Structure 1
Amino acid sequence: MFPLRDHNPSGRTPYVVYVLMAVNILAYAYYSATYASPRALAYFYDSYAIVPAEISHGYGLGTLFTSMFIHGGLMHLGGNMLFLWIFGDNLEDEMGHLRFLLFYLVSGVGAGLIHVISAPGSMVPTVGASGAIAGVMGGYLLMFPRARVDILLVLVIYFRIFTIPAFVMLGVWLVMQFFGGLRADPNLGGVAYWAHAGGFVTGLLLCLPLWLRRGGPVYWSQTSGQPPHPERPSSYAASRIPKLPRARRKPGPWGK
């Protein structure tokens, strides 16, 4: 289930989202080219990724920040940037540029710390902006639970685009992180499920003051949980292929 876009236009240019995307992409291009060999890349990750055992012993704390700008591959980078692009601009619009940047960084640090708590003795390096972006998703869920999101559903050979409320898409995603965290061993590497869930909850809690200033439940009742401005129409709602009228056949000798 991949989000393609939301119908929630931003009232201002999301400069911070653009900068965060550029920094992540340029950082990936730099270390991929500079640390070309597997040994060099492993050394790089060991220096700048979160290693829970090191954090547990009180050193390597700077990696809680640096790890947010490192990714394990193009798919990892692309997926994170897609989610940031879709959900980040609206929170930046609501918070303002500097507050959104602080919110993003604190969400990422919170996600990293929760990952450390889930596997305090792990020596597996952990990288990615997923925790910070999960915080953005948590804030988005609180502010715009009924905003419409276009998703691509892929089931083996079945491909279909649907438009669903944000609370459905984000709620399913969060449940998947909890179930994944219960099944996986965080000491063995793989997906950092608890970092995702922890970042989501951190972002939601950090967004609570903004939601309450907007009126809390009253804000939801005023907007029906949807964007407080007109939605963008979906370009996926209808086909643009013109319909041609069917030619009428002349009856033959037998009336057919």
Structure 2
Amino acid sequence: MVIPVRDVNPVRRTPYVTYALIAANFVVFLLTPGIAGSVAGQSDLSQLCHLQAFLEHYAAVPRELIHGQLPRLVPTGEVGVGPHGAGCVVAPPEYRKSPPASVFTAMFLHGSWLHLLGNMLFLLIFGNNIEDRLGHVRFTLFYLVCGYAAAYGFAYFNDTSGDPLIGASGAIAGVLGAYLVLYPRARVWVLVPFLIFLPLRLPAWIVLGFWFVLQAVYSSGGGVSSAGTVAYAAHVVGFVVGMALAWPLRPGTPPPPEPRGLLWGRHAQPGW
């Protein structure tokens, strides 16, 4: 798997929405109950119970999205002792959960630093150009549509699952799909792990096409959605929806600048 570092595709305006989304994701991650222990690598039972209760409330759950099957008992965040030892206390929910609204809140939740940083890296590199092309308002709507389509698409194929679906990757996959359609020839600097990390400058169609093929292959083995696994099917759906929404904009999209220097290896010109 290649790691993108930056693209050679300047923007005309400041991507305020992209920056705001990144900031919001970091703030929500740091404020998520029970996440402090996971960051330090020392989650105790109390922290895990608080995290479970939070995710049950705010994460999207496939069977809730498709069938409206809300649980009768949910974790309260408290720790209790039962016949089988200590565990998380469950009780009837004290709130009324809206499955459609949970898709929105789930788009700002992440299960680990790796999950968060990986998503935000892709959004930072590729989101600014899509926001530049669409404008701030249309980009915001585009991001939300892709996120909702990815969540419901995943839920459709996993309609009996009660595992929480979290993360911004479905919406970001839509951004990647749009980038592939609008800027297939833009150069992207990536790090390729081969004994060491080799810096290469590749066309976007190779970088993003390879990413999409991997997601499609993995999803064919059955996408899953719990905090420790990846919802590959959501990535595939979000990517395809992003491509479809961006396709009408292709004719009026100016091509990215053609950088001089080497295609493979380090760039010989300033401003690599």
| TM-score interval, normalised by the smaller of the two chains | 0.7 to 0.9
Q: How does 1:1-256 map to 2 (within 5 A)?
A: 1-32=2-33, 37-58=47-68, 60-155=99-194, 157-186=195-224, 190-212=229-251, 214=252, 226-227=255-256, 229=257, 236-238=266-268
Distance in 2 (alpha carbons) for counterparts of 1:27 and 1:55: 22
Unaligned runs of 5+ in 1: 241-256
Aligned length: 228
CA RMSD of aligned residues (A): 2.4
Kept in 2: contact 1:107–1:135 (CA 8 A): yes
CA separation of 1:33 and 1:239: change in aligned 2, threshold 3 A: farther
CA separation of 1:21 and 1:118: change in aligned 2, threshold 3 A: same
Kept in 2: contact 1:153–1:159 (CA 8 A): yes
| More moved, 110-119 vs 202-211 | 202-211
User: Over alpha carbons, which structure has the higher Rg?
Assistant: 1
- 1:41 Cα deviation after fit: 0.4
- 1:35 Cα deviation after fit: 7.5
Distance in 2 (alpha carbons) for counterparts of 1:67 and 1:187: 12
SS of corresponding position for 1:126: coil
Q: 1:80-114 deviations in whole A, cap 9, x for unaligned? A: 11000000011111111000010001110000011
CA separation of 1:35 and 1:79: change in aligned 2, threshold 3 A: closer
Unaligned runs of 5+ in 2: 38-46, 69-97
- 1:158 Cα deviation after fit: 3.1
Kept in 2: contact 1:8–1:232 (CA 8 A): no
Equivalence for 2:74? none
Distance in 1 (alpha carbons) for counterparts of 2:115 and 2:154: 18
CA separation of 1:47 and 1:35: change in aligned 2, threshold 3 A: farther
Distance in 2 (alpha carbons) for counterparts of 1:239 and 1:97: 32
Distance in 2 (alpha carbons) for counterparts of 1:26 and 1:107: 22
Identity over aligned pairs, percent? 43
- 1:46 Cα deviation after fit: 1.1
- 1:211 Cα deviation after fit: 2.2
Higher helix share: 1
Higher strand share: 2
CA separation of 1:110 and 1:197: change in aligned 2, threshold 3 A: same
- 1:237 Cα deviation after fit: 1.8
- 1:29 Cα deviation after fit: 0.9
Equivalence for 2:86? none
Amino acid in structure 1 at the alignment position of 2:218: G
- 1:186 Cα deviation after fit: 2.9
